């Protein structure tokens, strides 16, 4: 009897309350749905970024991709024409839009090395971008542009194109040095490194006994379906490594048998060179993939490369390096006391 009364109280006696009550319940439900929705967005991680690796599910043959990619722009005269000895040719990977980085490199270390920038095409505004790059290429004569999509995941393709281009245009070079546009290069120490490692097949900063990145959020993510081995016994950091030109043909031939992997240095220096061809990876810590804590000329002097260097940092360190280089002809011991500051302990 009492219960009936209560229900009557809710829905019967005060009919006027029914509609507001439904509205209230609905809004409570709505609120809680919204809170759940909102908190799930805050608390749960975002879905993994689209890594654009699906094309590799279709075909993982390097040949398949390379054969379709055309060379669009290159220096009008072949860089090594009429030159008998080219100790080092430098190729820099650079996305089309990074004018500032290329300009900083041109006015600093590239003055001392034959240096070329290798570019792909940039997504939605290809035409406009290509016009700018065309002007740049005319002006500086140091761009090599290929007809393929510029993307971090496509760096392996780009490296293969760089190897092929070196073989076609500068076969007499002794070493190809492959590097990035955010790398500081010290041409004087770079030459010393080569002199100290004359017989190297591949030479760089050897990263040993590591594991592949299986985290889909990582920039260096390699899914297991691309490379089932977790462990890598050693590879050369892609920030800057030398390949003896003698071995480029071997590498490219071998690469037609080794299924493509998205990470360039793992693919070429580990899977193709070390594992498939059993080549030796030589280590020189001066080809550093890191950056010194201190922006001192003398610290950079002891390194052949440093990574993550902005155009501003490059511009500020360069005059100091040039001064040290001039002095070093008469004072061999220059910067001696700074050597320990360029050890791995003071790099990050
Ligand atoms: C991938 O491309 C290569 C070279 O064009 C071809 O020989 C091979 O059959 C292709 N593989 C697949 C799975 O389509
Ligand atoms: C890599 O380049 C090829 C050829 O242009 C293109 O089909 C593919 O989508 C590119 N990959 C990415 C991740 O952009
Ligand atoms: C990697 O191993 C080589 C010898 O195989 C060694 O010379 C080099 O110092 C090691 N690399 C690092 C970063 O310790």
What mean pLDDT do residues 232-256 have?
Answer: 96
Instruction: Compute, in angstroms, the gap from residue 58 CA to the centroid of ligand 1.
Output: 9
Is-contact 287 241, C-beta < 8 A? yes
Q: Is residue 28 part of a domain?
A: no
Q: Is residue 1 part of a domain?
A: no
DSSP string over 192-240 = HHHHHTTT-SEEE-EEEEEE-B--TTSTTB--TTT----EEEEEE-TTE
Q: Ligand 2, residues 51, 54, 55, 67: which to mutate, most atoms within 8 A of Cβ?
A: 55
pTM score, two decimals? 0.85
Number of domains in the chain: 1
Whether pLDDT at 324 is above 80: yes
pLDDT of residue 56: 86
Instruction: Compute, in angstroms, the gap from residue 202 CA to the centroid of ligand 3.
Output: 13
CATH assignment of the domain containing 149: 3.90.550
Q: Is residue 211 part of a domain?
A: yes
Instruction: Compute, in angstroms, the gap from residue 245 CA to the centroid of ligand 3.
Output: 23
pLDDT of residue 5: 53
pLDDT of residue 124: 67
**Dist. CA 146–CA 71, nearest whole Å:** 5
Q: Is residue 85 part of a domain?
A: yes
Q: Where are the alpha helices (DSSP H) in the chain?
A: 2-7, 18-43, 55-58, 62-66, 99-106, 126-140, 155-169, 187-196, 248-255, 264-265, 297-301, 311-328
pLDDT of residue 14: 56
End-to-end CA distance of the chain: 79
Is-contact 201 280, C-beta < 8 A? yes
Q: Is residue 7 part of a domain?
A: no
CB atoms within 10 A of CB 324: 18
Note the ligand closest to the C-alpha atom of 68. 2
- Alpha carbon nearest to ligand 1 atom 1, residue: 59
Instruction: Compute, in angstroms, the gap from residue 182 CA to the centroid of ligand 3.
Output: 24
Does residue 61 line the site of ligand 1, with CB under 6 A? yes
Instruction: Compute, in angstroms, the gap from residue 27 CA to the centroid of ligand 3.
Output: 64
* Structure tokens given for 284: 């020189």
Does residue 60 line the site of ligand 1, with CB under 6 A? no
3-state secondary structure of 345: helix
Instruction: Compute, in angstroms, the gap from residue 11 CA to the centroid of ligand 2.
Output: 65
Mean pLDDT of the chain: 89
The phi, psi pair for 117, rounded to 5°, reads: -105, 135
Write out the residue range of the structural domain in which residue 264 sits.
54-183+196-283
Residues in a beta bridge with 206: 236
- Give the model's confidence band at 120: pLDDT under 50 very low, under 70 low, under 90 confident, else very high: very high
* Structure tokens given for 84: 């008998």
Note the ligand closest to the C-alpha atom of 232. 3
The per-residue pLDDT for range 184-239, each reduced to its tens digit, is 999 999 999 999 999 999 999 999 999 999 988 888 899 888 988 899 999 999 99
Does residue 64 line the site of ligand 1, with CB under 6 A? yes
Q: Is residue 294 part of a domain?
A: no
Pocket of ligand 2 (CB under 6 A): 52, 55, 148-149, 151, 153-154
- Alpha carbon nearest to ligand 2 atom 6, residue: 149
Is-contact 267 258, C-beta < 8 A? yes
CA-121 nearest atom, ligand 2: 5
Does residue 63 line the site of ligand 1, with CB under 6 A? yes
- Give the model's confidence band at 12: pLDDT under 50 very low, under 70 low, under 90 confident, else very high: low
- Alpha carbon nearest to ligand 2 atom 11, residue: 154
Q: Is residue 273 part of a domain?
A: yes
Q: Is residue 11 part of a domain?
A: no
Is-contact 95 125, C-beta < 8 A? no
pLDDT of residue 125: 67
């Amino acid at each position: 009897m009492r219960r009936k009364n209560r229900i009557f109280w809710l829905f019967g006696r005060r009919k006027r309350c029914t509609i507001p009550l439904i509205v209230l319940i609905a809004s409570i439900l709505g609120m809680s749905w919204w809170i759940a929705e909102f908190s799930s967005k805050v608390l749960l991680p975002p879905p993994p970024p689209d890594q654009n690796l699906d094309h590799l599910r279709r075909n993982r043959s390097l040949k398949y991709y390379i054969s379709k990619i055309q060379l669009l722009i290159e220096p009008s005269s072949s860089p090594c024409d009429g030159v008998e000895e080219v100790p080092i040719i430098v190729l820099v990977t650079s996305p089309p839009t990074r004018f500032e980085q290329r300009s900083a490199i041109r006015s600093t270390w590239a003055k001392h090395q034959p240096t070329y920038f290798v570019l792909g095409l940039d997504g939605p505004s290809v035409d406009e971008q290509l016009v700018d790059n065309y002007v740049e290429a005319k002006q500086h004569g140091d761009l090599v542009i290929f007809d393929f999509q510029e993307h971090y995941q496509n760096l392996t393709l780009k490296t293969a194109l760089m190897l092929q281009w070196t073989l076609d245009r500068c076969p007499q070079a002794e070493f190809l040095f492959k590097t990035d546009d955010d790398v500081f290069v010290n041409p004087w120490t770079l030459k010393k490194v080569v002199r100290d490692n004359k017989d190297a097949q591949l030479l760089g900063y050897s990263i040993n006994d590591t594991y592949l990145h299986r985290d889909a959020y990582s920039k260096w993510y390699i899914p297991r379906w691309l490379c089932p081995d977790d462990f890598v016994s050693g590879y050369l950091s892609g920030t800057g490594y030398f390949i003896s030109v003698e071995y480029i043909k071997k590498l490219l031939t071998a690469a037609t048998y080794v299924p493509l992997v998205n990470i360039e240095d793992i693919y070429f220096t580990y899977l193709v060179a070390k594992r498939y061809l059993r080549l030796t990876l030589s280590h020189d810590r001066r080809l550093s993939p890191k950056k010194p804590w201190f922006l001192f000329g003398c610290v950079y002097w002891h390194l052949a490369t440093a990574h993550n260097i902005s155009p501003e940092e490059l511009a500020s360190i360069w005059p100091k390096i040039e001064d040290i280089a001039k002095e070093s002809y008469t004072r061999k011991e220059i910067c001696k006391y700074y050597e320990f500051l360029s050890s791995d302990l003071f790099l990050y």
